[in-house]
């Protein structure tokens, strides 16, 4: 795959690039940085995307993911590793994709708290286990490999969340 990485992050301070890519102390100082990045992403989702439609959420998130490719790729280059565990901007940015069309209370399928908890758990499961071809996406170069596997994990989580809601409606 020959996807050029954005070069603009190289003009930024290495310290700033790494701070953004690791969400500061969430990636650098806490255990399980991907989980903390996802938790911060959950809050980000429900603060900034709660009242947006799925189309707006998709466009905004994918544009921000392109920015994430730049930051995560440059941070990985600076750290001398392919996909450093401390880099958790990817988990943060993709969380809105998990909830496309499934905001709490919008469908009345189950109590409102179930949607964020279940979506978070599904995403962490797909992100950690990397089934259904997700693992292979990490082979994409630099920041693309760091971001794309999380985008697909988020979309699989969204699909699973909708299928579970459909099954719940059917059986209850």
Counting as low any pLDDT under 50, the low residues of the chain are 105
Q: What is the reported pTM?
A: 0.93
CA angle 97, 103, 108 (to 5 degrees): 145
101-147: per-residue pLDDT in tens?
Answer: 875 545 567 888 899 999 999 999 999 999 998 999 988 999 999 99
Query: At a CB cut-off of 8 Å and minimum separation 6, what does 150 contact?
Result: 90, 91, 93, 94, 127
CA angle 119, 168, 104 (to 5 degrees): 40
Query: What pLDDT, on a 0 to 100 scale, did the predictor assign at position 125?
Result: 97
Cβ–Cβ < 8 Å for 161, 119:
yes
Query: What pLDDT, on a 0 to 100 scale, did the predictor assign at position 107?
Result: 57
Query: What pLDDT, on a 0 to 100 scale, did the predictor assign at position 103?
Result: 56
């Amino acid at each position: 795959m020959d996807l050029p990485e954005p070069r603009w992050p190289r003009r930024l301070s290495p310290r700033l690039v790494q701070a953004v890519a690791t969400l500061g102390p969430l990636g650098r100082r806490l255990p399980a940085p991907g989980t903390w990045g996802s938790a911060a992403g959950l809050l980000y989702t429900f603060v900034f995307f709660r009242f947006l439609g799925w189309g707006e959420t998709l466009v905004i998130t994918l544009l921000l993911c392109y920015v994430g490719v730049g930051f995560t790729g440059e941070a990985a280059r600076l750290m001398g590793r392919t996909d450093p565990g401390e880099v958790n901007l990817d988990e943060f940015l993709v969380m809105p994709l998990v909830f496309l069309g499934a905001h709490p209370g919008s469908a009345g399928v189950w109590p409102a708290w179930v949607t964020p908890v279940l979506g978070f758990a599904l995403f962490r499961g797909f992100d950690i286990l990397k089934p259904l071809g997700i693992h292979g996406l990490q082979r994409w170069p630099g920041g693309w490999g760091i971001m794309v596997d999380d985008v697909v994990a988020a979309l699989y989580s969204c699909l699973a969340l909708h299928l579970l809601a459909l099954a719940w409606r059917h059986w209850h």
